[in-house]
Amino acid sequence: MIVCGWDPGVVYLAYGVIELSPARSRVLDHAVIGDGNTAHTYDERLDVIATNIDRVMNRWCPDAIGYEDQSGVEAARRRDGTAEVNFASHWVHDVCGMIRFAARCSLEEPVPCYRATPQSIKVALLGKGNRGADKSAIKSGVRQLFGVQKCSSHEADAIAMAVTTLRKHNLAEARRRAAAPRSARA
């Protein structure tokens, strides 16, 4: 089984692809899409992201994909405590929509697509949520679990999302099998 996890962003979008086999799990690929060039317009960035999401989907043909949920990041706070609309966060929601759309349309058959909160991603990888689960802990967990020595924090987050996606997918499949009529299980 091949699973792709995404850490959404407009400037940097990271992905991690893992394979689960009977012998072991391993990272097949991980990278950051985007060059950090802020001179590119928003539409130009989205075009690059869309093209690269499709390339990743068609190269690896994952059995499931997942991305970090961006709920609750629509507004930031100014120093005086008043709400400030954070347009960059709205743009990240567009990227999440592109990932979900790719799950439905990039391959011949739709691919299950899952989203997870940052805390559930940390729990899936590290077994703990907030305390002691910062960016360096995520990178360390990826290094220990998969032996990945060099990756950015974005890539580590994407690989952690792939682990979370694998767990969510396995749970959904187990529930589906349990709900199936007895005659269909055989």
Mean pLDDT of the chain: 86
pLDDT band at residue 92 using 50, 70 and 90 as cut-offs:
confident
In 3D space, the residue among 154, 160, 175 whose CA is nearest the CA of residue 112 turns out to be 175
- Which residues on adjacent β-strands are paired with residue 32? 14
Using DSSP bridges, classify how beta strands 64-68 and 113-116 pair: parallel, antiparallel or unpaired: parallel
Q: What's the rounded mean pLDDT across residues 119-134?
A: 81
pLDDT for res 73: 53
pLDDT for res 131: 64
The number of folded domains in the chain is: 1
pLDDT band at residue 54 using 50, 70 and 90 as cut-offs:
very high
pLDDT for res 56: 97
In 3D space, the residue among 30, 37, 32 whose CA is nearest the CA of residue 14 turns out to be 32
Its domain, for residue 54, covers 2-74+82-185
State the amino acid at position 100 in one-letter form: R
Look up the CATH number of the domain holding residue 46.
Answer: 3.30.420.10
Is residue 186 predicted with pLDDT exceeding 70? no
pLDDT band at residue 27 using 50, 70 and 90 as cut-offs:
very high
pLDDT band at residue 133 using 50, 70 and 90 as cut-offs:
confident
Burial class (CB in 10 A: 0-12, 13-18, 19+), 24: exposed
pLDDT for res 98: 94
Is residue 38 predicted with pLDDT exceeding 80? no
